[in-house]
Amino acid sequence: MSGNNKIDTGIGNTGESRKKSGARSGSGAEKLAIHGGLPVRTEPFHAWPVFDKREEELLLQALKSLDWSFNGPLELKFAEMFSKFHDAPFGFCVVNGSVSLEIALKIADIRPGDEVIVPPLTWMGTAASVLFKNAVPVFVDIEPDTYCIDPDLVEAAITPRTRAIIPVHLYGNMADMDRIMEIAEKRGLTVIEDCAHTHGSKWRGKGAGSIGDFGSFSFQQSKLITSGEGGFIMTKKEAFAEEIYAYKHVGYHRKGKMWNFFYEGDYDKGLLKGAFIGEKKNTFIGHNYRFNDFQAAVLLAQLERLPAQIRKREENAAILSQGLSAINGVKPMRRDPRVSRQSYYQYVFRCGIEEFLGVKSTQIRDALRAEGISCGIVYDPVYRCPLFSPDTGGYPFKFSDYGEKVKYDELYLKVVETAATHEAITIPHEVLLGSRKDISDIIEAVAKVRKNRDILKETGR
């Protein structure tokens, strides 16, 4: 299997020489690599993305088919398989996972001035999709132990203007879909699951993305299956499926009549392959949000590999959680027992503020990276992005239909702020595809950083 993004830690010493060196910090702990000690490891972790002969074979098949776009055979096959994998009856490939959210909001008829509840800890595209509809993102804080949107706070944030909720299954954890669906059904709200981080997860045996009204996925390069870029939207409602089809195909319905053509018969070998048979006319403006068969070729191969990768990540994550839990102040995220299959996009753990003496998460990240560990921190709260400053004025949302000012600059949501500044460290999913030794190196490095927390605090780095 091949992959090109080897992680170069830029550190030359081996673990063996480190053990012999006895380099120590003032606190009696082994000196951190960031302070001149020897790193825990120097070898790269598992690479991402990966491919093998299967991608090559399917890409060649797509190439030779001369059927590269507009419901190509591999696209239709992938759409069917990916939907089934998540227990959704309808699903469509689209250009990316931002557009798929926008499509869901469009089909849900979200209008200017409507409120859409979103978590503050997510990629900004989740909230930006709401702005594309000139609607108002309402940020609701997350649960401290899953980092997914807190259902109690969702309920409290509902106003007469609320029309939809976008729970994000963040880093592979799943939002509490029982509570969210209960709240939404009671209030007649649309639920759009943002599944960009959780291809293949299941909630009480049901696939992520098939529980709410819509499920949205991304196939951008860092994601759990990837064609470089790409997205997917699924739904359980046939009427929505027809609208999605039309919206991604320039407004033409599957069983429809184009404004200047009328197709009859079997078009399987023709350019448009029977897409527009019937009487229904295109009734709304749509985009060209189409996919191509080369993307589908790569994704089909990646999907074949996904179940085994999910199992491997789950196994390694369990070992990592066990090891990290033994370190004072380190807390893995809670896995809700209703998550019957957990597909990790990132493995996240928390470093307790008191036990780490308030050392910032950026310091912990930098210290771990110097130890040769591939890691990061979580997103900044989305409402901090200048796009949400009322003074910006340049983005689509002008507040004109809303009638009151939204002041995101005064927003401070405690759980997300703590996660972003102090607590959370992320490990990319490809690391979980590695060996047991990789996992024990991570545990060793975190323990080493924990032991040196007073020096990190003193030096500020």
Ligand X SMILES: Cc1ncc(COP(=O)(O)O)c(C=O)c1O
Beta-sheet strand order (sheet of 346-351): 330-332, 346-351, 424-428
Which of 72, 91, 97, 323 lies at the binding interface for ligand X (CB under 6 A)?
97
- Sign of the CA dihedral with 180 first, then 185, 189, and 192 last: positive
From the number of C-beta atoms within 10 Å of its C-beta (0-12, 13-18, 19+), residue 394 rates as exposed
Smallest gap, in angstroms, from Cβ of residue 98 to ligand X? 3
User: Residue 306 has which token pair?
Assistant: 């996904």
Smallest gap, in angstroms, from Cβ of residue 330 to ligand X? 25
Which of 96, 162, 235, 316 lies at the binding interface for ligand X (CB under 6 A)?
96
- Number of residues this chain uses to bind ligand X (CB under 6 A): 14
The bridge status of strand 256-257 relative to strand 231-235 is unpaired
**Binding status of residue 295 toward ligand X by CB under 6 A:** no
What are the b/e assignments for 46-59, b being 16+ CB within 10 Å?
A: bbbbbbeebbeebb
Smallest gap, in angstroms, from Cβ of residue 440 to ligand X? 29
In whole angstroms, what separates CA 32 from the centre of its chain?
32
Contact 344, 314 (CB under 8 A): yes
**Binding status of residue 380 toward ligand X by CB under 6 A:** no
Please give the residue whose beta carbon sits closest to ligand X in the complex. 97
**Binding status of residue 14 toward ligand X by CB under 6 A:** no
Smallest gap, in angstroms, from Cβ of residue 177 to ligand X? 16
**Binding status of residue 218 toward ligand X by CB under 6 A:** yes
| Pick 124 or 353: Cβ nearer ligand X | 124
Alpha-carbon gap, residue 347 to 226, rounded angstroms? 19
Which of 138, 168, 277, 433 lies at the binding interface for ligand X (CB under 6 A)?
168
**Binding status of residue 120 toward ligand X by CB under 6 A:** no
Stretch that binds ligand X, among 81-89, 95-103, 346-354, 432-440 (CB under 6 A): 95-103
Stretch that binds ligand X, among 109-117, 121-129, 257-265, 356-364 (CB under 6 A): 121-129
The bridge status of strand 115-118 relative to strand 136-139 is parallel
In sequence order, the 6+-apart residues with CB closer than 8 A to the CB of 285 are 251
**Binding status of residue 231 toward ligand X by CB under 6 A:** yes
Tokens 């990768």 identify what position?
309
| Pick 125 or 434: Cβ nearer ligand X | 125
Contact 377, 362 (CB under 8 A): yes
| Pick 90 or 345: Cβ nearer ligand X | 345
| Pick 25 or 346: Cβ nearer ligand X | 346
The length of the chain is 461
Alpha-carbon gap, residue 66 to 69, rounded angstroms? 9
| Pick 252 or 347: Cβ nearer ligand X | 347
| Pick 25 or 295: Cβ nearer ligand X | 295
| Pick 34 or 104: Cβ nearer ligand X | 104
Stretch that binds ligand X, among 119-127, 145-153, 282-290, 353-361 (CB under 6 A): 119-127
Instruction: Describe the crossing of helices 293-325 and 436-451 by its angle, rounded to 10 degrees.
Output: 50
Smallest gap, in angstroms, from Cβ of residue 220 to ligand X? 4
Which of 48, 78, 123, 294 lies at the binding interface for ligand X (CB under 6 A)?
123
Q: Which amino acid is at 224?
A: L
Smallest gap, in angstroms, from Cβ of residue 298 to ligand X? 15
Smallest gap, in angstroms, from Cβ of residue 222 to ligand X? 7
Tokens 């893995």 identify what position?
332
Residues 124-163 close enough to bind ligand X by CB under 6 A: 125-126
Which residue stretches of 223-339 are H helix?
238-248, 293-325
The bridge status of strand 90-94 relative to strand 231-235 is antiparallel
**First and final CA of the chain: distance in angstroms?**
38
In whole angstroms, what separates CA 63 from the centre of its chain?
30
Stretch that binds ligand X, among 94-102, 139-147, 155-163, 358-366 (CB under 6 A): 94-102
| Pick 310 or 359: Cβ nearer ligand X | 310
User: Residue 375 has which token pair?
Assistant: 């890691």
Applying CB under 6 A, the residues found at the interface with ligand X are 96-98, 122-123, 125-126, 168, 194, 196-197, 218, 220, 231
